Amino acid sequence: MKLYHNARCQKSREALALLQEKGASPQIVLYMKEPLLPGDLETLLEKLAIPAGDLIRKKEKVWKDEFAEKELSEDELILAMIEYPQLMERPVLETVDKAIVGRPPEKVLELI
């Protein structure tokens, strides 16, 4: 399993701690340092079973400044999250066939 993690995010740190308390050792993906490739993000969205717009943090300044007033396609939303990884909701726990957004952090426990 993989945890898409932002160490600066309180909720992401809480989710990681919960997983570790339960004995899980997810592979940590520091997507802020190494943004995802478009295909990887598309696969993640498929496992989440949500459209790209539902994975975007719409309160982020870059969203408000650059994208909020635009009509964007799925592909454009994916590219926005790749160019500005801070737009991606976090944390996200991914297994072989499913993924879940850890909001609240306890939701990640549903996949272990």
Tokens read off for 87? 């737009």
Are β-strands 27-29 and 92-94 bridged in parallel, bridged antiparallel, or unpaired? Answer: unpaired
- AA identity, residue 67: F
CA nearest neighbour of 90 among 27, 20, 31: 31
Is residue 14 part of the annotated active site? The answer reads: no
Q: Given the residues 9, 32, 50, 82, select the one marked as catalytic.
A: 9
Backbone angles phi, psi at 34, to 5 degrees: -130, 90
β partners of residue 28: 3
CA nearest neighbour of 54 among 8, 14, 101: 101
Residues noted as catalytic: 9
